[in-house]
Amino acid sequence: MSRNEAVRLALAGAAVAAVAVIALSGTVPAEDASKPIVRRDLIRLTAPVFPPVTRDPFSVVAFVGGQPVLGDPAAGAGFPPAREVPPVVEMAPPAPIVRFVGSILIKNKTGNVFTALVLVDGAAAAVSVGDTFGRGWKVLNITEKELTVQDPEGTAQVFVFQGERR
């Protein structure tokens, strides 16, 4: 028997079986036809009574061994009071980047006065003793090789002559 003949024979057998199932399903005994499809005796007429809820399934409270733990309002134990908003700590602005690039000696009738050429955060400035620059930095002393300044906290800092560089 060839393969095609075997397939045809199998399909014919399946078709005969399908026709037999359909024919047999059409014949229903008379006693089964009178029964309703839905059994009304299984439908409840009143709402079911459930046991009381022992815990809230949507709560974030931990439930260990049947005993609610910290924070369960039913047990009378509440969470510790929330901390207030933490105080905002005032941060001082960052110190400017200062480069001492030169000094000029100016002679006048009252005496010799040095003027320092500085770069503060990349911006050029000429300052003398007593001047302020940046964010409250005060010039204390200027020499040919050093610039002494006082920062806003009162600390003296010395900048060494760096000259021009790129």
**Structural domain spans, the chain:** 98-160
Question: Around 2, how many Cα atoms within 13 Å sit in the side-chain half-sphere?
Answer: 3
Instruction: Please name the CATH architecture into which domain 98-160 falls.
Output: Roll (2.30)
CA dihedral 78, 79, 84, 89 (to 10 degrees): 160
Question: What is the pTM (predicted TM-score) of this model?
Answer: 0.42
Query: In angstroms, rounded to a whole number, what is the distance separating the alpha carbons of residues 89 and 67?
Result: 42
User: In the numeric block, which tokens belong to residue 127?
Assistant: 């300052």
Q: Which residues of the chain have pLDDT under 70?
A: 1, 25-33, 55, 59-84, 86, 93, 164-166
At 105-153, the pLDDT tens digits run 777 777 778 888 888 888 888 888 889 887 788 999 988 888 899 988 8
